[in-house]
Amino acid sequence: MIVYVTGYCPYCHAAKDLLADKGVSFTEVDVTGKPGERALLRTRAEGRSTVPQIFISGIPIGGYDELAALERAGELDPLLEKT
């Protein structure tokens, strides 16, 4: 799992906290001030460049709102089990 973040983004912190609370390990990629990393993010995230951007098993699921919605719907754990 990869989570693209910036250091100053409250939604990034919320996403990382949710994943940490679930005991999920992930790779954090900080794109702060890194235009090359941000360009890679935009390519991987199908044009989105906002953070966080979360990828589970290489699949872009979106940001914190989408992650939280998956959790509320009971759909996050099954996705995480596939990683």
Q: Hey, how many other C-beta atoms are within 10 angstroms of the C-beta on 74?
A: 8
* Single pTM value for the model: 0.92
What are the tens digits of pLDDT across the range 9-19?
A: 999 999 999 99
* Spatial distance between the Cα atoms of 1 and 4, rounded to a whole number of angstroms: 10
Spell out a b/e string for 33-56, using b for 16 or more CB atoms within 10 Å of the CB, else e: eeeeebeebbebbeeeeebbbbbb
What are the tens digits of pLDDT across the range 51-80?
A: 999 999 999 999 999 999 999 999 999 999
List, in order of start, the domains of the chain with CATH numbers: 2-81 (3.40.30.10)
